[in-house]
Structure 1
Amino acid sequence: MPEPRRLVRPLESFVQELALCVATNGDRGPALLWPEDSETLPELLRIARPAYQQERWRYASDAAPPRTDGCPGKPGGPEAEPLLLASTLGALLELRVRPSFRFMRSMSVGEQQASSTVEHIVTVLEGACRCRLTRTDGAPGNTVDLRLRAGGTLFVPRDHAYALLDVHTPTVLMELLLSDPY
């Protein structure tokens, strides 16, 4: 019987850091994370993702992702790695986690993403953008502006919304959506 597929060490380290970040900040507010392992960003860039032409692409929660090279998918192939990353994080947090990728062209603006029922983890893989983070529950301290660059990860808890602005170079983001268990 084949051994279950595992994440490579830098991605495993990244998932553990994400789990700690979410567990620590989940009910306190947003957090900005820079991975401790210098090999994390190169490993994230190696993950198979859809073609750049699509603005946004999400994995179906109950189906294998399509391959990006036009070939039929193989179980456990590189195209399954975002799902493996999400399921590993989900197991640690005991939450449902779904991965997606967002591609933003120069001079584009991303629509505001509200987090009333889910939490978001946004990792910039390539490029950079400004992020405006706001509270949606009417509490004080409404808006924070920050610059996200390649390697940076933003945790956006429930009752917050974020908008991606000031994209001056093509930018690729990986988003993980955290929701209640099944």
Structure 2
Amino acid sequence: MESAGHGIETFLRDIALCLSVSRGTSPALVWPRGGEMVLGRLAPPGPRTACSPTAADVLAARLQRDSNTTELTSGLGAWLEAGVDAAFRSVPPGRSSDSLPEEADLLLLPVRGGCHAHVEPPRDHLVPPPAGRPLGLRLRVGSAFYVPAGFTTTLSEAHAPCVLLVLSVHGAPRP
């Protein structure tokens, strides 16, 4: 049941609305209503601070099997009329991630901690990045960051272990 209208349906509708404008063209950050509540269901109870990188990897593996993840992927797939796959990625403090896959549109949803995302457009992109440098922004629990296929994304600057749900959206954007 949705609490004050901010349950999973509202969360998914806000993301789908954002992607209806930005999908296939440019990165977009949205703070969907109910984001902290919906994503909070994926993170287990307990302290959210002291967690070693190994523990963050274990948490990511455990979340991979969670039924709430399936509810998110199937719900978003229905809204977008597209296939949606989920994977969890951990970002240890003081380290950068490898580039995320560029083959599909990505939706980055932090479920624990926060990190910095660096995004670069493809070389043949019509609009150059502002000031000639990559887009950089801080991701936190409750945010949803959309990155179109072909853009290069790297994650870094986690002050504590960060775990993100990475949703890959497959299929052409709806006209």
Q: Give the TM-score taking structure 2 as reference length.
A: 0.76
> Which residue number corresponds to residue 174 of structure 1?
165
> Which residue number corresponds to residue 158 of structure 1?
149
> Which residue number corresponds to residue 81 of structure 1?
68
Matches within 5 A, 1:38-53: 40-47=35-42, 52-53=56-57
> Which residue number corresponds to residue 130 of structure 1?
116
Identity over aligned pairs, percent: 26
Does the CA contact (< 8 Å) of 2:42 and 2:111 recur in 1?
Answer: no
When you count helix as a share of all residues, which structure comes out higher? 2
Matches within 5 A, 1:56-75: 57=61, 66=65
Shift in Å, 1:174: 1.0
CA RMSD of aligned residues (A): 2.6
The 1-side partners of 2:119 and 2:71 are apart by: 28
Residues 49-90 of structure 1: CA deviation (Å, up to 9, x unaligned)? 7x733385499xxxxx64xxxxxxxxxxxx322111111111
The 1-side partners of 2:77 and 2:2 are apart by: 14
> Which residue number corresponds to residue 113 of structure 1?
100
> Which residue number corresponds to residue 149 of structure 1?
140
The 1-side partners of 2:75 and 2:18 are apart by: 15
Does the CA contact (< 8 Å) of 2:91 and 2:155 recur in 1?
Answer: no
The 1-side partners of 2:119 and 2:40 are apart by: 25
The 2-side partners of 1:126 and 1:112 are apart by: 20
Give the letter aligned to residue 147 of structure 1. Answer: R
Shift in Å, 1:36: 2.6
Shift in Å, 1:28: 2.5
Residues 93-128 of structure 1: CA deviation (Å, up to 9, x unaligned)? 11100112222222121111142x310000112211
Say if 2:12 is the partner of 1:15.
Answer: yes
Does the CA contact (< 8 Å) of 1:7 and 1:81 recur in 2?
Answer: no
Gaps of 5+ in 1: 1-5, 60-64, 67-78
Gaps of 5+ in 2: 45-54
**Are residues 157 and 7 of structure 1, via their aligned partners in 2, closer, same or farther at CA, if it must alter by over 3 Å?**
farther
Give the letter aligned to residue 37 of structure 2. Answer: P
**Are residues 112 and 172 of structure 1, via their aligned partners in 2, closer, same or farther at CA, if it must alter by over 3 Å?**
same
Say if 2:22 is the partner of 1:35.
Answer: no
Shift in Å, 1:18: 1.2
Shift in Å, 1:163: 0.2
The 2-side partners of 1:127 and 1:47 are apart by: 13
